[in-house]
Amino acid sequence: MSYTHLSLEERYYIELERKKGISMTKIAAALERSQSTLSRELSRNRGERGYRHQQANAFAVARFCQKQVRPT
C-alpha cells in the first residue's frame, strides 16, 4: 500500500482546525486521510505548547533524516 507524507500545508490546516475545536474525524475527512493518520500525527508531533505545524514538520523531517542515516 502506498502512502504520502503530510505536507506543511496539511499540518497548518490541522493546527487551525484543532484550535477551532474541530474533531479529528472531521479534519481527517476534509484532508481525505484516515483518522489514525491524524491521531499519529498529533501524538508524535505535539510539543510543550501543543500542536504547531512548523514544529510538527521539523519533528517529522528530523525523524525521516535519522532513519535515512542509520549505520549498517
Residue 58 lies in a domain: yes
Task: Enter the pTM of the model.
Answer: 0.82
Instruction: Please tell me the predicted confidence (pLDDT) of residue 68.
Output: 67
The pLDDT value recorded for residue 28 is 96
| pLDDT per position as a tens digit, 19-64 | 999 999 999 999 999 999 999 999 998 888 999 999 999 998 888 8
40 versus 71: which is more confidently predicted? Answer: 40
69 pLDDT more than 80: no
Which structural domain range is residue 21 located in? Answer: 8-68
Nearest to 33 by CA among 62, 55, 11: 11
* Cell (9 digits) for 65: 533524516
In a domain, 3, yes or no: no
Domain contains 1: no
Query: What pLDDT sits at residue 46?
Result: 87
* Alpha carbons 45 and 52: distance in angstroms, whole number: 8
